[in-house]
Amino acid sequence: ETGVTQSPTHLIKTRGQQVTLRCSSQSGHNTVSWYQQALGQGPQFIFQYYREEENGRGNFPPRFSGLQFPNYSSELNVNALELDDSALYLCASTQGTSGGQETQYFGPGTRLLVL
Amino acid sequence: GENVEQHPSTLSVQEGDSAVIKCTYSDSASNYFPWYKQELGKGPQLIIDIRSNVGEKKDQRIAVTLNKTAKHFSLHITETQPEDSAVYFCAAISGGSYIPTFGRGTSLIVHP
């Protein structure tokens, strides 16, 4: 177990709706990253938060947004859902700011299906 | 940006055989290369990593090699066991970045 939890495990939404996914990082891990993993693909970096501030972003539109809270929990919000948003969403936590070059501890993911 | 190619997409071996998964990357500035194992219903888990100042790293039955000149790195698993069956991902990260670029994954099947 990595100590990173995500909720819900599965979710079904319709196109145009909004969704909030949640992640609870390991205690003491100040950095959380979110990834989208389409079926049969590797994870794609969405964005990273460090001490409640966005610290970097991948090639995702602004309708993907996030929040990080002082209690090591975080959220991924997606507005105006599209069919292509159907994927496994992963969060990963690390201790410091160089998240990509430290060991990342992944949660089990939330499977989102957009109909 | 960085592009990581991973081969093969599927690898089927008999228990006890060796398995090799290969990745190539495009950005010569990449200097950190982790490998992840993802079992069904779980998130990726780091199994081994290598930095660009090292050519090879070994951890029990798992080893990773890096050829910076050719821009490729490989995962080697010896004496495979059924519990090694999973999807394996390589990734590359540039020295000036913290954003990993993942390969598309290799589904390893170890037959008892």
Question: What was the pLDDT predicted at A88?
Answer: 97
What is the C-alpha to C-alpha distance for residues A45 and A48, in angstroms, rounded to an integer?
A: 8
DSSP structural state of residue B86? E
Lowest mean pLDDT among A20-24, A30-34, A92-96: A92-96
Between B41, B98, B105, which is nearest A42 by CB? B105
Strand, helix or coil at A42? coil
Q: How far apart are the first and last CA of chain A?
A: 32
Task: Give the gap in angstroms from C-alpha A40 to the nearest C-alpha of chain B.
Answer: 7
Strand, helix or coil at B79? coil
- pLDDT bin (cut points 50, 70, 90) of residue B99 is confident
Strand, helix or coil at B22? strand
The whole-chain average pLDDT of chain A stands at 92
Question: What was the pLDDT predicted at A102?
Answer: 77
Q: What is the pLDDT of residues A38-68, one digit of tens each?
A: 998 999 999 999 889 998 899 999 999 999 9
Q: Which of B97, B101, B105, B34 is nearest to B66 (CA)?
A: B34
Q: CB-based contact (8 Å) between B102 and chain A? A: yes
pLDDT at A99 over 60: no
Task: Give the gap in angstroms from C-alpha B16 to the nearest C-alpha of chain A.
Answer: 27
**Top mean-pLDDT range of A48-62, A86-100, B61-75:** B61-75
Question: What was the pLDDT predicted at B47?
Answer: 96
What is the C-alpha to C-alpha distance for residues B30 and B22, in angstroms, rounded to an integer?
A: 16
Give the number of other Cβ atoms within 10 Å of residue A42's Cβ. Answer: 22
Question: What was the pLDDT predicted at A26?
Answer: 83
Q: Which of B59, B74, B88, B58 is nearest to B25 (CA)?
A: B74
Q: Which of A1, A56, A46, A40 is nearest to A24 (CA)?
A: A1
